[in-house]
Amino acid sequence: MNDILPVGSVMSVRGAVVDVSFTGGALPAINTALIVQWDRPDPLVLEVHSHVDPVTVRCIALQATAGLARSTSVRTSGAPLSVPVGDAVLGRLLDVVGMLKDRGPALPADTPRRSIHNVPPSLKGETSTTSVFETGIKVIDLLAPLVQGGKAAMFGGAGVGKTVLVMELIHAMVEKYQGISVFAGVGERSREGHELLTDMQGSGVLARTVLVYGQMNEPPGARWRVPLTALTIAEFFRDQKHQNVLLLMDNVFRFVQAGAELSSLLGRLPSRVGYQPTLATEVAALQERIASVAGASVTAIQAVYVPADDFTDPAVTAISSHMDSMIVLSRDLAAEGFYPAIDPLASTSALLDPAFLGVDHYDVAERAREALARFKDLQDIIALLGVEELNASDREIVTRARRLQRFLSQPFAVTEAFTGTPGRSVPRAETVAGCRAILDGETDGWAETSLYMVGNLDEARAKEAAAQAVGKPAAAKPS
């Protein structure tokens, strides 16, 4: 087959953008994979992006182009880039073109492959669900519950705990979640990728997980296409194996950033804040493929970097418009020592409705939001005049909101090596019961530190009893 396919040659190289000339025969179609026939040991795959003139195509390189010269021969594959899928890739680490990067044995020769450019399921073929995807993280399960088969995003600036939260979700779901997990590292640091692989090997979850990486040191083409590679693997398990899939992506902003880099190299005029003019289209093409069909679901949890903590950034707003649940991380809470630093007032979920969660959960969640919102309103007055100047009703709200704020903090299993505190996973019913008790005033006489960094309310009660027995505070607390 390859003998009758046209062979071209490199005309120009501009970083990750390569022009290839085909003098005979038809030009390769858009999104066709081309293989550079050079003398380097590492392969170089190009993807056709546009037709420049009757004999020239403009391509995006999916690997580094260092050393590529003009006139180098290029062979067309005649089809879009395809990557290995199925049971053979479970427990393995792949790159954007499907090559193994974990130094393990080669994949079997009969491993199925699938194109990374698939259309999303038809609207009539998609299914919706109102099942709660429990995480064991109190503040998420109470105020921003995740949807089974839905899309959730964690938005936060640099250093507020997005990657730690993603790793904790992976760890927390080892026991509860029996489906397949696919992790896409988009623009990840090499250190983060190595840590995740090591943690997964140690926890035993790697056997049901596929890791796909396009790291920060790789060309923009790799970072731009790696989410599609991960999504293709997830779609195979959903469509062919009829298995539920948990898709984790860290970090989707790097996907947008890679697209902006390529857009500049392709000579397009930039759009607002310097982003590519095709920003909304690229994000939609990715997010609309994350869908559930009858018999199997894809649940996506995505970390999104917020540049300069600006939540009005075009990339952030484009991504958030596709989400069912939005978990917003707060730098102020992180600075005060509340982890996970999730803002309970800014985080939202389409599932936060009494018809889906039950009246009891919904009422507690609303009461919690009201108390925390009133506390936030009063903080300036408290800073100027002190709590003593508030009326009795507001003092009561402040007392309970502060205890609720501390109760919604939680030690993570993935940070145990740094904090020395074992992680806690709390069932949703226990979270709701604990928050209701705090809002009803059962803990008004407790030390605030008894509720800080604990699991359920029983653990806080034991901590308070121990502190009273020795007559001193239970633990250090955030200011």
Decide: 406 and 455 in contact? Cβ < 8 Å. Answer: no
- Tokens 């890739």, residue? 89
Q: Distance between CA atoms of 60 and 20, rounded to whole angstroms?
A: 11
Query: What proportions of the chain, in percent to the nearest 5, are helix, strand and coil?
Result: 40, 20, 40
CA-based nearest residue to 390, from 406, 379, 402: 379
162 carries an active-site annotation? yes
Catalytic hit among 188, 192, 218, 261: 188
Radius of gyration of the chain (CA): 25
Count CB neighbours of 114 within 10 A. Answer: 20
Q: Which residue is associated with the tokens 């979920």?
A: 349
Residue 34, H or E segment: strand 32-36
Cβ-count burial of 198 within 10 angstroms (0-12 exposed, 13-18 middle, 19+ buried)? exposed
Q: Which of 40, 70, 176, 189 is catalytic?
A: 189
Give Cα 144 to chain centroid, integer Å. Answer: 15
Q: Which amino acid is residue 395, in one-letter code? A: R
Say which residues have a Cβ less than 8 Å from residue 150's Cβ, sequence separation at least 6: 129, 133, 299, 300, 324, 325, 350, 351
Catalytic residue selected from 162, 254, 400, 424: 162
Residues noted as catalytic: 162, 188-189
